Amino acid sequence: MAEQIGFLGPGLMGKGIVKNLLKKGYPVTVLAHRDGLNLEDLTQAGAAITKSLAELGGRCDRVCLCLPSSKEVEPAIQGEGGLLGSLKPGAVLIDFSTSYPASTRMLSGRLQEKQIAMLDAPMTGTPVHANAGELNLMIGGDQAIYEKCLPIFQAIAKNIIYAGPISHGNIVKLVNNFLGQLTNAALAEILPLATKAGVDIKALYDAVRVSGGNSRVFEGVVPAVCRRNFNVTFELRLAHKDINYVSMLGREMNLPLPLANSLLSVLDLAKAEGLGRENTNALVKLYERIAQVELRGTI
C-alpha cells in the first residue's frame, strides 16, 4: 500500500505536485497554507482536505511542505500545534520550499530528536512543469532516506539530483537562483539602454543568441518582455527572498558576495516600486520608467 502523503502548501507549484502524486496512486491529504485557496480541483482529483496540522501529521507517513520561505516553514514544524508534535517516529518530512540552509539544519535536528527524518527538496521549473510532472529537484538529507522516498520524487520530477547532506539541496537551489536572477537583472538594466539608443531588439537578440552572452534566461526573457508577457511564474518578492538568503549565507560563512549584495539592492528598489507581486521579468519595468522607453517587438 502506498504511503499516506500529507501536503501543506497547494499553491502555484504545489497543486501540480499533488495532482501527479494522486495520478501515481498515492493517497494525499492537503492543507491550505493561506485563506482563499480554491481546492476543488484537488478534491475532484481525489485528494482529502484537512484544516489541521495536527491531523496532517498524525495521519500521514510522509508530509510535504511547499511554502514561500523559512518564515512559514519554521512555525509549521515547531510552532504551536505544529508537525513536530504530531508526526510519528519513522515519518519523513520533505520540504519542497526554498528555505534558509541554517534553518533547515536546525529543524532537521529537532525532528531527529523524535526519530523523524527530514529532506530538503527545493525545485526549479514553472507551474507548467509542476503540472506535467517534469520538475527539477535538488535534494539534501540522509541518502538512505532519500532512496526510500525516491518513488515520490519520480512521480513529480523529470530530473532528480541528490545534493548531499541536509540543507545542501537548498544551497544548490540558491546558487542556481542567484545565477538566473543575476542574468535577469542584467537584461532588465541593459535592454532599455539598447532601446533608448535606437537598436533593433530583434537584431540584438539574434546576435546574442549565437554568441557568448546567450543563456536560457536570455532566450526566455527577451521574447517575453518584447511581447509584454509578464504572466507570473515566479514572483519578484520570492526572488528577493532567495537572494537575501544568499547574502545571509555569505555573511554566515564570512565570505564577501559583492554581486549578490548588489543584486539584492536592485531587488530592494523593485519591491519599493511596487513590483514585488509581479513576475521576475517585470524588473525591466523599473529601468523602462527611468529611460522612458518600452521594449516591444516580435521575436
Known catalytic residues? 173
Helix axes 168-196, 236-252, angle to 10 degrees: 120
Across 85-120, b (16+ Cβ under 10 Å) vs e yields ebbeeebbbbbbbbbbbebbbbbbeebeeeebbbbb
Burial class (CB in 10 A: 0-12, 13-18, 19+), 170: buried
Give the separation between CA 94 and CA 28, rounded to whole angstroms. Answer: 14
